[in-house]
């Protein structure tokens, strides 16, 4: 890493807390006292993502936005290789959408109020009745017109390769009943790998695929749908992000199990 990039990476890292606080306060004030529009307030998280990318020297290009209908809600399904996924998607995707966050984050002063002001969706990740209720509530919000992005791998990939998809996110997609849009995050692992806090800078490409209808899938098909989405996301990835054989085998095994149990 060059000395200049080291400075930019450090500056971006140090900028996150004050920028996040400023964006949250701006959203709270705007929604409660000025424009009073959650849709217009999406400029705040977009500004957050774009500013951090520019400071960190992360150059973002988006391909495939022509596949999206601005009037439709979608669930975006992507690989998760880096915190830069969140920064780049927040800053450079024009479609109106919301983030889903665990309910504990909404209890953080200023941050939680800011997320509520921009209409982020809370979900309970514990087990039991409350978790089921929060999943159903989130599905209703999405079906009612709130697009969201989900990372079915469940956590960031430590090596940048696409890993097997878990079915929790797929169940939410089936409950919501809206079209699913595969997204390939390319280059984010290279600019900010898991476990690192300073950006290395570089080019990031977000590839948006063709929407997939869920109307022919039921809950029993969740593994099959997970496999289809896994393949569609893989098709949008550069070679360095493609799944390793073990992850590919695990995804295909789950899909095959679903086919056998339904036959």
The CB density around residue 17, as the number of other CB atoms within 10 Å, is: 9
pLDDT digits (tens, 9 = 90+) for 7-58: 999 999 999 999 999 999 999 999 998 888 888 889 999 999 999 999 999 9
pLDDT digits (tens, 9 = 90+) for 208-234: 999 999 988 988 899 999 999 999 999
Per-residue pLDDT band at 257 (split at 50, 70, 90): low
Predicted local distance difference test score (pLDDT) of residue 86: 96
pLDDT digits (tens, 9 = 90+) for 156-178: 999 999 999 988 888 888 889 89
Residue-range domain boundaries for the chain: 3-262
Predicted local distance difference test score (pLDDT) of residue 28: 95
Residue with tokens 């996110």: 169
Per-residue pLDDT band at 124 (split at 50, 70, 90): confident
Examine the pLDDT at 131 and tell me if it is beyond 90: no
Closest alpha carbon to 53 in 91, 27, 16: 91
pTM above 0.95, yes or no: no
**Strands, E assignment, 31-146:** 58-63, 74-78, 97-98, 100-102, 121-123
User: If you average pLDDT over every residue of the chain, what do you get?
Assistant: 90
Predicted local distance difference test score (pLDDT) of residue 58: 97
Task: Lowest mean pLDDT of 35-49, 52-66, 193-207, name the range.
Answer: 35-49
Predicted local distance difference test score (pLDDT) of residue 261: 55
Predicted local distance difference test score (pLDDT) of residue 143: 87
Examine the pLDDT at 126 and tell me if it is beyond 80: no
Residues of the chain above pLDDT 90, percent: 65
Predicted local distance difference test score (pLDDT) of residue 22: 96
Dihedral, CA atoms, 158, 237, 87, 212, nearest 10 degrees? -120
Predicted local distance difference test score (pLDDT) of residue 34: 87
Q: How many angstroms separate the most distant Cα atoms in the chain?
A: 60
* Whether CATH 1.10.8 fits 3-262: no
Examine the pLDDT at 243 and tell me if it is beyond 60: yes
User: DSSP letters along 170-206, please?
Assistant: HHHHHHHT-EEEEEEEESHHHHS-TT--S---EEEEE
**Average pLDDT for residues 179-208, to the nearest whole number?**
96
């Amino acid at each position: 890493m060059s000395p200049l990039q080291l400075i930019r990476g450090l500056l971006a890292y140090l900028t996150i807390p004050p920028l996040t606080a400023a964006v949250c306060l701006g959203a709270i004030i705007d929604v409660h006292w000025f424009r009073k529009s959650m849709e217009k307030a999406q400029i705040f998280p977009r500004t957050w993502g774009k500013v951090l990318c520019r400071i960190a020297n992360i150059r973002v290009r988006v391909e495939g936005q022509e596949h999206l209908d601005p009037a439709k809600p979608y669930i975006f399904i992507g690989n998760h290789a880096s915190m830069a996924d969140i920064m780049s998607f927040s800053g450079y995707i024009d479609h109106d959408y919301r983030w889903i966050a665990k309910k504990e984050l909404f209890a953080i002063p200023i941050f939680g109020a800011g997320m509520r002001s921009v209409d982020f969706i809370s979900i309970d990740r514990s087990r039991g009745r409350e978790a089921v209720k929060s999943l159903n509530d989130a599905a209703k919000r999405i079906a009612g017109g709130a697009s969201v992005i989900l990372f079915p791998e469940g956590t960031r990939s430590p090596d940048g390769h696409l890993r097997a998809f878990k079915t929790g996110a797929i169940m939410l997609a089936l409950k919501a009943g809206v079209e699913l849009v595969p997204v390939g995050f390319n280059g984010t692992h290279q600019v900010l790998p898991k476990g690192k806090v300073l950006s290395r800078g570089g080019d990031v490409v977000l590839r948006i695929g063709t929407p997939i209808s869920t109307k022919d899938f039921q809950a029993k098909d969740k593994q099959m749908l997970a496999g289809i989405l896994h393949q569609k996301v893989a098709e949008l990835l550069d070679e360095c992000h493609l799944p390793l054989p073990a992850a590919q085998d695990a995804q295909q095994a789950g899909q095959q199990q679903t086919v056998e149990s339904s036959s």
